[in-house]
Every structure is written in C-alpha cells, then in structure tokens.
Amino acid sequence: MPNGYSGKMLRVDLNRRSVSVDEHDEAFYRRYLGGWNVVGHYLLNELQAGADPLGPENVLVFAPGVITGAPYSGSGRNSVGAKSPLTGGFGTAEAGGYWGPELKHAGWDGIVVTGRSETPVWISIYDDRVEFHDATPFMGQETKHTHEAIKEAMGGGPVRTCMIGVGGEKLVKFSAVANDVSHFAGRTGLGAVMGSKNLKAIGTRASGKMPVADPAKIKDLAKFMVANALDLAYNLRTYGTGATMTAHVQTGNLPTRNFRDGNFLTAEQISAQAVKATIRLKMESCFACAVRCKKVVADGAYDLDPAYGGPEYEGIAAFGSNTGCDHLHLVAKANELCQRYGLDVISAGCTIAFAFECFEAGLLSKADCDGMELTWGNAAVLPELTRKIAFREGIGDLLAEGSLGAARRIGRGAERFAIQVKGLEVPMHEPRFKHGLGLGYAVSATGADHNHNMQDPGYDQPGRKFDTVKVLGITEPVPVADLSQRKVELYRKVSDWEVTKNSMVLCNFIPWDYVQMTECVQAATGWDIDVEEMTQVGERGLALARAFNVREGFRPQDDDLPERFYQPATRGPLTQGLDRQKLAEARANYYRLMGWDEHSGAPLPERLAELQVPFAAVAAR
Amino acid sequence: MRLSVILVGDVERFRPERGKRFEWELTEGDTPADLCQSLGVDRGEVWRFSINGEIREFDALLHDGDEVMVIPPLTGG
C-alpha cells in the first residue's frame, strides 16, 4: 500500500457519463509529486495541439499532491488545470480549503475530465462510488446555494465541494473554480473550461484517511507550525493578506489606476487593518493549518455574506487602488460578488481598471457602459460591473473577454491599456519595483502570475528570508532592482521551487523552509527524496508547461511585458521603467540556464531526457 | 531627538504598540540601524525604512521630527 497517494486517478468521460481509473506507479508520483506536474503530463499526452479551450476536447484536471491531506499546515490545496481560454496556453491555478484533502481521503489522487455533458451535470464521490446527477436546478445559482444544495443531496455532514458559479456557466474567460465556497483556483479562466463541459460541481465525501508513511514526523511538523505560526507568520495570522499596503505605497509596489500612477495615498482605508477594524468577524483556516490567514467579513448595509470569507490583498488592490477606489465596503462587495459568481478577483478588478482607462481616453462612452460613469475612484459602479461581467450583460459581455480580448474588440489602440502578459492580467505586485518578479511575469507559461514567481525584497540582504535560499546554493544577496546573471540564477532556483510547491501542492503562506518542505514529502511518502531532487521536480514542471506552450505556438516574443512597465509611473516612487534590453538579456540567460532553445524557447530534447520527460520533446519540436 | 515611528507587517510583533504610530527618543546622529537596536527589532527581519516618505538604508542619518516606517521584505500578499 503506497503512502501519500493511492495510485489512482479518476477519469470522467462526460460524453458517455462514464468513469474509469488511471493507475500510476510510484515512479510517476516521485517524478511529478502531483498538482502542476500532473496537469502538464495530461495536457501534453492527451490534448491535441490547437484544441479549442472551450471545446469538449479540452482536458480538465483536478490534481492534489502527495502531501494533500497530511495533517500539517499548508497541505489543504489542489491544482486545477487545462488549456486556458484566457491565454490559449498552459492554464493552472491552485485553491485551498478542504476539498483537495477530502478527495485524497476518498482514495483519489486526482480527476481527469474529458468531453462535454449535453445537459448540466454534477458528480458525487463517496469514496470509490461515483455518480452523475442533474445540475439543472443549480444553474444560475450563487456558489453558496449550490454548495448547500449538494451537501444536502449527499446526506449532509462533512461534504466538500468544488464548483463553478454563474461566471463559469457563462464562459467568462477569467471565471474561477471554487472549493467550499470561499477558496478559489482563480487564474487562467478554468471555471469557463468547467462550464464549457456543463460540469457544475463535484461533491466529495470520504470515509477513510489517506495513508502516510511517518505519522510521528507529520505530527512533529504540525506541532512546529502550531508553536511558531504566531511568530514566523505574525502578519498573516493577525491580519491576513493586505496588511503592508502603506509600505507598498512608499516603494511604489501598490498598483494604482491601472498600473499608471505609482502611488495611492489613501491605501490605509482599504488595508487589512481597516478590514479588521470595520467589517471583519473572525479569521478561519484551511485544512489543518495553524496560520489561519482567511478573513471572514460581514456588513448588513452592503449585504456582505460571511459565507464567502473576505477579501485578500489581490482583490483589495485590484478593485481598490488599481481603479482608484478607496471605499472599503464597495471594494469588499465587488470582491464578494466574484466569490458569489465565481470570478478571478485579479482579472476582474484589472479588466475593470482597463475599462476605466478606456473611458477616460474616450474609447468607451457612457452609452457603451450602460449609462455608468467609469471614472477613477467611482467605487459605486464596481459591484454592478462585476455582476454584469458574471452574467455577460451589456458592457459585462465585452469585459468578460478579459482586458486583452476586450481591447481587441474595442480597437483604436485600446491594447495599450490592457496590462497583461499572454492575456493574463498582471497581479498586484509591481515589476518596476521588483525586477526579478518582472522577469517571472514575462517568462511564465500561464502569463502574468505571482503564484510561481519570486518576490525580490526577500533576497536582497541577509536576513530570515534570504537564509532560506542558502540551501539552494545562493550565497550572496541580489538587489531588488537588478536583472544581472546573479538575479537570473536566483530567480531560476526560487521559481523552480515555486512549481515544486504547486506540484506537491503546498501553500505559499506557510513559513516552511526548503528542508522542512522536503521533510513534508518524506513524511507523507516515505521516500528518501532530498532538496536537490525536489528542486528538479519544479524544473520538470516548468519544462512541461513551456513545451505545451511552444506546441500551441507561443514564442520568445510572447515572453514580454506590457509597454507600460518600460516607462516610469506618472507619479510616486517608480521614476524609472524597466530596461528593455536588460530584460531581454535576462530572458535569454534564463533560457540558457533552463536548457531551452534561445530561438524558439523550447526545452531541448537532451534536457527533457535528463528530466525524465522525453515525451515532451515531441510537443516542443 | 524625537522620532515618530511605525512598524509594518511582521516586524510589528517586536513592539507592544502593534501597528500604531508612536514617539521614540534617539540621539542626534543615530541611524535606522540604531533605531532597530533601540526598539529590539531583529534587523534580519527588516528590509528598509521610509523616512519622511523616502526609502532609506540602515546607515541613513536620522533627524529630530523624522517620520520613520520600518518595512519588512515586501513579499506576496
């Protein structure tokens, strides 16, 4: 009996409404760990090049990892992946909560969904019993209602759900997949893929537990984080995300008015401290987590339902500073509507900021915007715009295409206001401040993504954060505003590991160091895996994703940033844009380090062979 | 000299003021490094300082009336 995994992936064929089992051996799990890598494996092996992301041929993968369900902090996550309808490339995102562990406890290492149901369907999983049900009554419902209805239909108790909202049903290009109502795999539009398959939800209930190799070690790891979370993760545990926004303003790191203006002087009004002082009810956690960083908010005047948790930094900044809005309640309401309707808060907020700038430039009129004035700081329109996007009503139908898709429809130069990479809107971290992060946005297979990227300030001087990367062979700090070879080497190691984390699948907010993360895998599986082998797992994942994108037609020129980031902000600390030549050199250096062809960006066959994924060379040829 | 000080993010935990701005006495000629030592803040947890809105290093000179923000490494979230 294996530990950390069952060896079984559930296959769901929606064309036939049938299920089967894919069995995998230990080598598969040790090579991939799960999550991102399993997504990459299935997309490369089963999806034809050029497939329609919203066609029945797309392959939708739900993938926990080998640690998911082991009871220590950060192990409550799972990946979701498919070809992205937003970017046309490798799509993956991760969500926390409890659904991933429940799936593992039910005996499944993941789910691979193919085909399309003719009518809306939801799936129940009780251990190895898998059944299809009519989802017609749930269509158009808010996520909370769907969650509660499925719980009731499955007999109540500890039923966990994974689902889409109205946004996914309406094929909003940046719709999300929700775990247990308040945890989201937000990025790259995977909710639309689920919607295109007419798959509304997956309810899961387990009777057993995932077996682990070393329960005593797992207990030690769990105890360590319980004892140290308040010290090592003080900020997240006390406030959740969004508590350093005043410092972001000082550095220029807070995206302001569609990344144009550089600082936002009323940021404190929408910060996590303001949330705590006004609308926060309590903090909650994901599965087995001691950090407990999830806000729960309520406000009767704005109908903020605590069932949907609360706003994270990304949502606060995307709907707040990035649209020039400092009205906390309306920003929180727009964020909450994303959760009711299943939208990615980053892409939603940024696409609305894009629309604001188009309005200012005269590219969208008041009539185009259904009578609304999309002026900077007009927070009153945020909830209605969000609702219209989810239901594809009026101006919402245009914005549901994402900023790049909408810009192409608007024409007249609107693309210059679409702040995105490969179609994915830029998250709330400034590449003109953090240059390594900027390189990461450019070269990421999913587009502008911070979930497998590097945050430079942790590594520019000795200290607690820098000390963690010494085990990866990084001996000297590197300045934040730097794109030298040393920065590229640092970025390469850190981003390899970010993908390792997204494969095992581990939360980024738990202050485990790299040795402890390795111990997490050792304790779950019993393997003698070391830090170096763990690093290579991440590199493997990056190679798979890169090979997939090359097969889909992406080229090095797609690994670039929006023009805005090569210019200074109009005001504030960002007085210089990124150096275009230096970024191009950093990209070429990164390709060399990764063993990717300098002209095509494709992983070289010999490197793929070393990474034990030679099959990916076919895709990258 | 008297400074107006606020600690942000994880470094907030080193002081009982917990995120509130407070007054702090130092000697003319002292630096942010001296401030960290005086406050009992582990400098390995500090990234930089904002002094009257300008990002400064550990060896900057502080002056009477300065508004100082102690900033940790600004990572995710």
Residues of A engaging B, defined by a Cβ cutoff of 8 Å: 230-231, 233-236, 238, 240-244, 246-248, 250-251, 253, 273, 293, 312-313, 429, 450, 455, 457-458, 460-465, 467, 508-509, 573
Q: Is B21 on the interface with A (CB under 8 A)?
A: no
The 3-state secondary structure of A558-585 reads HCCCCHHHHCCCCCCCCCCCCCHHHHHH
CA distance B32 to chain A (A): 15
Place of tokens 């390469």: A492
Contact list, B75 vs chain A (CB under 8 Å): 455, 457-458, 465
Residue A568: count other Cβ atoms within 10 Å of its Cβ.
16
CB spacing of A465 vs B75 below 8 angstroms: yes
Q: Is the peptide bond before A505 cis (omega within 30 degrees of 0)?
A: yes
CB spacing of B76 vs A429 below 8 angstroms: yes
Give the integer Cα–Cα distance in Å for A279 and A286: 21
| Helix, strand, coil % over all residues of chain B, rounded to 5 | 20, 30, 50
CB spacing of A462 vs B45 below 8 angstroms: no
* CA A589 vs CA A234, A317, A549, A593: distances in Å: 37, 32, 19, 6
Place of tokens 């008041």: A366
Contact list, A463 vs chain B (CB under 8 Å): 43-47, 73
Give me the DSSP letters along A493-510: HHHHHHHHHHHHT--TTS
Contact list, A244 vs chain B (CB under 8 Å): 8-9, 71-72, 74
Can you give the pTM of this predicted structure? 0.98
Contact list, B33 vs chain A (CB under 8 Å): none
CA distance B5 to chain A (A): 13
Contact between A61 and A498 under an 8 Å Cβ cutoff? The reply is no
What are residue B70's DSSP bridge partners?
A: B7, B49
Contact between A260 and A356 under an 8 Å Cβ cutoff? The reply is no
Alpha-helical (H) ranges within A180-233 are 190-196, 215-232
CB spacing of B13 vs A234 below 8 angstroms: yes
Contact between A4 and A29 under an 8 Å Cβ cutoff? The reply is yes
Greatest alpha-carbon span in chain B:
36
Token output for A410: 């608007």
In this prediction, residues B30-59 reach a mean pLDDT of 97
Size of interface A-B (CB pairs under 8 A): 79
Give the integer Cα–Cα distance in Å for B10 and A234: 6
- For residue A604, the 8-state DSSP code is P
Give the integer Cα–Cα distance in Å for B25 and B23: 7
Q: Is B67 on the interface with A (CB under 8 A)?
A: no
Token output for A551: 């097969």
Which are the contacts of A542, defined by CB distance < 8 A and separation ≥ 6?
A: A445, A495, A496, A499, A594
| Nearest partner of A539 among A618, A445, A465, judged by Cα | A445
∠ CA A171-A173-A176, rounded to 5°: 85
Contact between A91 and A190 under an 8 Å Cβ cutoff? The reply is yes
Contact between A33 and A24 under an 8 Å Cβ cutoff? The reply is no
Q: HSE of B18 in the Cβ direction (CA atoms, 13 Å)?
A: 6
Give the integer Cα–Cα distance in Å for A434 and A206: 43
pLDDT of residue B75: 80
Mean pLDDT of the residues in chain A = 97
| Nearest partner of A99 among A75, A129, A78, A70, judged by Cα | A78
Q: Is B61 on the interface with A (CB under 8 A)?
A: no
Q: Which of B43, B45, B71 shows the shortest C-beta gap to A247? A: B71
Give the integer Cα–Cα distance in Å for A322 and A313: 12
Contact list, A252 vs chain B (CB under 8 Å): none
pLDDT of residue A262: 81
pLDDT of residue A470: 98
Q: pLDDT under 50 in chain A at which residues?
A: none
Write down the ipTM of this complex: 0.96
Phi, psi of B33 (to 5 degrees): -65, -40
3-state DSSP assignment of residue A403? helix
- Return the H-helix or E-strand segment holding A346: helix A345-360
| Nearest partner of A583 among A486, A450, A448, A484, judged by Cα | A484
CA distance B2 to chain A (A): 22
Q: Is B30 on the interface with A (CB under 8 A)?
A: no
pLDDT of residue A97: 97
What are residue A224's DSSP bridge partners?
A: none
Q: Is B33 on the interface with A (CB under 8 A)?
A: no
Residues A456-477 pLDDT 10s: 999 999 999 999 999 999 999 9
Q: Which of B44, B47, B50 shows the shortest C-beta gap to A457? A: B47
pLDDT of residue A93: 98
Give the integer Cα–Cα distance in Å for A347 and A314: 10
CB spacing of B73 vs A463 below 8 angstroms: yes
Residue A81: count other Cβ atoms within 10 Å of its Cβ.
32
Q: Is B45 on the interface with A (CB under 8 A)?
A: yes
- Return the H-helix or E-strand segment holding A594: helix A580-594
| Nearest partner of A395 among A337, A361, A342, A355, judged by Cα | A355
Phi, psi of A322 (to 5 degrees): -75, -15
Contact between A450 and A429 under an 8 Å Cβ cutoff? The reply is yes
CB spacing of A458 vs B75 below 8 angstroms: yes
Q: Is B39 on the interface with A (CB under 8 A)?
A: no
CB spacing of A243 vs B8 below 8 angstroms: yes
**Closest chain A residue by Cα to residue B57:** A461
Q: Which of B42, B69, B73 shows the shortest C-beta gap to A465? A: B73
3-state DSSP assignment of residue A166? helix
Q: Is B20 on the interface with A (CB under 8 A)?
A: no
Q: Which of B9, B42, B76 shows the shortest C-beta gap to A247? A: B9
Residue A127: count other Cβ atoms within 10 Å of its Cβ.
14
Place of tokens 């790049």: A404
Contact between A466 and B73 under an 8 Å Cβ cutoff? The reply is no
| Nearest partner of A316 among A284, A289, A341, A349, judged by Cα | A349
